[in-house]
Chains A and B, each alone.
Chain A
Amino acid sequence: GESVGLHLPTLSVQEGDNSIINCAYSNSASDYFIWYKQESGKGPQFIIDIRSNMDKRQGQRVTVLLNKTVKHLSLQIAATQPGDSAVYFCAENHHNNDMRFGAGTRLTVKP
């Protein structure tokens, strides 16, 4: 079946560096994508979203890039901080209101 997946299960970066977390999706009909952050012991929290009619969207220190040609999504975090350490999930709008999630990438920020 079609699914959302991630290229790397873990990512370790130095504090202050930029982080890039990648996601591949296979459902070409998906028109909406979200990145979530999940800290230890908590549920996932919404970070940023993007619709398929856009290729880039920026938030506070985060940018999401969408490449529909290769069905790839990325999350860029600028000046990564220790508080950014978490598991990051991409999710795609499957159809109607239910989302499908990738396996997640664990980001570790080294001081």
Chain B
Amino acid sequence: DVKVTQSSRYLVKRTGEKVFLECVQDMDHENMFWYRQDPGLGLRLIYFSYDVKMKEKGDIPEGYSVSREKKERFSLILESASTNQTSMYLCASMVYRDNYGYTFGSGTRLTVV
């Protein structure tokens, strides 16, 4: 089974800090994604990547950046954390074979104080 591992389950950071959320997948998938999940809003796409060093903006990229230096790792960066970035962050990976099904990590709950 594909495993998508997010490095932290819970994080508490201060306003203005630079925050790194790490995601690693072990099945050589080309596509990786970062979503944030908020009550009543579902999952909203922040950034995604089709391959190493490639990145594309999703629906809500403002305040975020990403890095994909290796195929298995996709990092989400909050350049200067703000309280409105308090959320659950979900990483996913996918390779198209028979379907577009994503495999998600367990999520990182980030609180910015």
Contact = CB atoms under 8 A, between A and B. Distances in A.
A72 B80 CA distance: 40
B102 A46 contact: yes
Contact of A9 (B40, B56, B58, B105): B40
A43 B100 contact: no
A91 B92 CA distance: 14
B100 A34 contact: yes
Given A9-B40, A49-B101, A97-B31, A41 B106 contact: yes
Contacts of B40: 9, 103
Interface in A59-87: none
Given A93-B100, A103-B41, A42 B106 contact: yes
A43 B90 contact: yes
B45 A98 contact: yes
A89 B42 contact: yes
Interface residues of A, number: 24
Q: Name the interface size band of chain B.
A: 20 to 34
Contact of A43 (B31, B92, B94, B96): B92
A100 interface: yes
A91 to B, nearest CB: 8
A101 interface: yes
Contact of B42 (A32, A45, A104): A104
B50 interface: yes
Interface of B: 4, 31, 33, 35, 40-45, 48, 50, 56, 58-59, 90, 92, 94, 96, 99-107
